[in-house]
A and B are shown apart, each in its own frame.
Chain A
Amino acid sequence: MSHETEDRQTLIANQFISSLPHAKSLGMRLVEIGDGLAAIEMDYDERFVGDPETGVIHGGAVSALMDTCSGAAVMCHPQASLGTATLDLRIDYMRSATPGQTIIARAECYHVTRSVAFVRATAYDDDRDRPVATSTGAFTVERKA
Chain B
Amino acid sequence: MRKPEPVQVVKQRRDAALERLIQSMPYSRFLGIQFDRRGDELTAVLPFKDDLIGNPILPAIHGGATAAFLETAAIVELAWSMIWSDIEGEEPQGVKVRLPKTIDITVDYLRSGLPRDAYARARITRAGRRYASVHVEAWQDNRERPFAQATGHFLMPSRDG
CB interface residues, A 62-85, toward B, < 8 Å: 63-68, 71, 83, 85
Q: Chain B nearest CB: distance from A95 CB in Å?
A: 10
Considering only CB atoms, which chain B residue lies closest to A60 in the complex?
B68
Q: Chain B nearest CB: distance from A109 CB in Å?
A: 15
Contact A23 B26 (CB under 8 A): no
Contact B103 A22 (CB under 8 A): no
A89-B107 CB under 8 A given contacts A22-B62, A52-B26: yes
A49-B51 CB under 8 A given contacts A20-B62, A85-B63, A92-B103: no
Contact B25 A50 (CB under 8 A): yes
Contacts of B51 in A (CB 8 A): 21-22, 24-25
Report the separation of the CA atoms of residues A89 and B62 in the bound assembly, to the nearest whole angstrom. Answer: 13
Contacts of B62 in A (CB 8 A): 20-23, 64, 67-68
Contacts of A66 in B (CB 8 A): 64
Q: Which residues of A contact B (CB under 8 A)?
A: 19-26, 46-52, 57-61, 63-68, 71, 83, 85-93, 96
